[in-house]
Amino acid sequence: MNKSTDSKPCRVCHLEKPLTEFSKDTQLKSGISNRCKTCDKIKNSKRSNKGFTWKDAADIPATPESELTDLYGTSDVWTKGKLVMRKGKVLDVGCTDSSNMVPLTLASLGWKVHGIDNRQFKFQHPNFHFTQGDIRNAPFPDNFFDCVCAVSTIEHIGLKGRYGATEADPEGDIEAVREIARVLVPGGTFLLTVPYGRGQLVKPLHRVYDKTGLRRLFSQWKIEGEIYYTLEQGNWIVVPEEVAAQKDYIGGERALALLELVR
């Protein structure tokens, strides 16, 4: 097979595959999709919530951090070397997101993955177990997980009218973090992303945290790593904390904090 003309790497799983494994895409100059049919099937199935089972999981991915980077483009530095190269029990808080394949990516790599969300989550995998419920009252034993991750989740918890919440709980984010600390093993890792900038409550969407707000949430935690991004002309770029801290969500500006925390 002539690699240059008869095959190419998938943008998501980075596996070199025959061109017949890619769908046609008339919007691209090449006329061929950049994602292989397997990755397309997973992504489209997740969007339609049909309950796709990863029977082809052995094919995904050859370089697993690329999957995380593709779906959470601002999280490549945050995730690399923290989840992909390790094994254990991990909890994904707020796993039912239209583009979240992190739990099933990790499950295919050998992690014992649990997900919790108050919305349904129909994906299946032998290493994945879903609990429909509230992280503020999690049905897990103390010191159960080696790692907990919460991507774009903590900022929503306790806000009335968001993701089916019928009652307001101003301390909802604090309660969630407290429960995460309970189920995490001593020395375990908590990875999360939250909106960052000028601290404000954007009802009913989410909270935007500033340095004081993060200190309020994580006074009992040690920050092992942190990285900040801002959205500039459609691209997320790494910036110093003090630059991200000036962003005003109400004014149309966007920034993220990605944190690695240890109890």
In which residue ranges of the chain is pLDDT below 50? Answer: 1-4, 45-81
Is residue 4 situated within a structural domain? no
Is residue 27 situated within a structural domain? no
Report pLDDT for 14. 54
Report pLDDT for 30. 78
Quote the domain boundaries for residue 135: 49-262
Is residue 30 situated within a structural domain? no
Is residue 211 situated within a structural domain? yes
Is residue 113 situated within a structural domain? yes
Report pLDDT for 85. 57
Is residue 118 situated within a structural domain? yes
Report pLDDT for 48. 39
Is residue 66 situated within a structural domain? yes
Could you tell me if 122 and 51 are in contact, meaning their C-beta atoms sit under 8 angstroms apart? yes
Give residue-wise pLDDT tens across range 142-161: 999 999 999 889 999 988 86
Report pLDDT for 13. 54
> Domain total for the chain?
1
Model-level pTM? 0.71
Is residue 26 situated within a structural domain? no
The CATH number that applies at residue 76 is 3.40.50.150
